[in-house]
Amino acid sequence: MILSPGVRVTEKQLQAQVVQLASLTGWRCYHTFDSRRSAPGFPDLLLVRPPRCLFVELKTTTGRLRPAQAAWLEALAEVEHQKSTCGDPPISETFNPRSDEELRKCDPQKPPQAA
């Protein structure tokens, strides 16, 4: 499924597109389908393509990050060699597994850059 630019999408549609794109480009995808017994706010997706690991919280253009979600993303951002993101369409700007500079920053074989 490819969504057209400017088309309003649901988070479910956005997630389906991200999972499809990730799978097509060699990423393993994990999503907790029933999170009622899980800690609140954990990111929507865990994407792995060694040596990279992404924790992705998806939001549509009208979606808002809840405090528990922000707390998880902040904690995960502090973990070395991990990347936490908050996606917002257009998907090509938020998740591009071939050109995203942020993914290259997650490479444990690449020395960290000075802030």
pTM of the complete model beyond 0.75: no
Other beta carbons less than 10 A from residue 43's beta carbon? 22
87 within domain boundaries:
yes
As for how many domains the chain has, the answer is 1
User: What's the confidence (pLDDT) of residue 69?
Assistant: 93
pLDDT tens-place string over residues 11-27: 899 899 999 999 999 99
CA distances from 93 to 25, 53, 71, 110, 115 (A): 16, 18, 24, 23, 23
The enclosing domain of 23 has a CATH number of 3.40.1350.10
pLDDT tier for residue 115 given thresholds of 50, 70 and 90: very low
User: What's the confidence (pLDDT) of residue 109?
Assistant: 41
104 within domain boundaries:
no
The domain in which residue 43 lies consists of 11-96
59 neighbors 9 (Cβ within 8 angstroms): no
Instruction: Determine the average pLDDT of the residues in 39-61.
Output: 90
Tokens representing 46? 């865990």
